[in-house]
């Protein structure tokens, strides 16, 4: 079964506004996180490809250099619309919808997630209310609806499609970064295990040293 990861990336100038002053150079942090996520995805043997949906020139260039297919997102109307653009651009039989702000992503955990055979697999965020990833087979088995409260929404949408969704907590996919608390949680997690997130680690270390 051909499986492709779809990664929506917001323009870096608009990214991570909720961090406030917790990290002043938010565009640099967003760029580092996307590249680290791409590293992890390309290290997962069961993925047959990666599609990056973005209007950000830097992300487009980096993604293309790393071997991803780039789909332009001229409207930037949100994560759900962006991933649907990616779905339209691929002939994959299964898609993994992942965010670009989980830099600690572990390829081994991606492989474990891809071993699930259910038509809909939901990866909750660390609070249990949002959705940090969806594994869909076929790609349009349900329409994604990311955003606040999306875990319950995705569960309901799957059931409305006649599917009992599986829930698969994935430690490193739970470490997305939207708020200062999320950034602190990522720092703590990175201090507890080695490897991965090379660019993001360097930026965070540099910020602490400043």
Range list of H helices, the chain: 26-42, 57-66, 79-88, 107-114, 150-160, 180-192, 198-209
Q: Is 210 exposed, middle or buried (0-12, 13-18, 19+ CB in 10 A)?
A: exposed
Residue 51 backbone dihedrals phi, psi, to 5 degrees:
-115, 125
Binding region for phosphoenolpyruvate: 131, 147, 150
Residue 24: left if φ>0, alpha if ψ -120 to 50, beta else—which one? alpha
Binding region: 131, 147, 150
Q: Indicate the SS3 state at residue 199.
A: helix
């Amino acid at each position: 079964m051909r499986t492709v990861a779809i990664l929506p990336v917001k323009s870096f100038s608009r990214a991570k506004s909720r961090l406030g002053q917790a990290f002043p150079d938010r565009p640099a942090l967003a760029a580092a996180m996307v590249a680290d996520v791409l590293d992890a995805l390309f290290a997962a043997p069961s993925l047959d490809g990666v599609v990056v949906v973005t209007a950000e020139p830097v992300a487009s260039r980096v993604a293309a250099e790393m071997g991803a297919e780039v789909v332009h997102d001229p409207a930037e109307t949100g994560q759900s619309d962006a991933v649907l653009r990616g779905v339209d651009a691929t002939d994959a039989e299964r898609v993994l919808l992942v965010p670009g702000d989980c830099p600690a992503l572990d390829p081994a955990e991606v492989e474990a997630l891809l071993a699930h055979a259910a038509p809909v697999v939901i990866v909750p965020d660390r609070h249990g209310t949002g959705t940090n990833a969806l594994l869909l087979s076929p790609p349009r088995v349900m329409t994604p609806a990311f955003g606040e409260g999306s875990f319950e929404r995705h569960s309901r949408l799957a059931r409305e499609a006649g599917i009992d969704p599986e829930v698969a907590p994935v430690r490193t996919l739970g470490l997305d970064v939207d708020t200062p608390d999320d950034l602190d949680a990522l720092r703590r997690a990175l201090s507890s295990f080695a490897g991965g997130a090379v660019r993001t680690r360097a930026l965070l270390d540099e910020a602490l040293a400043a």
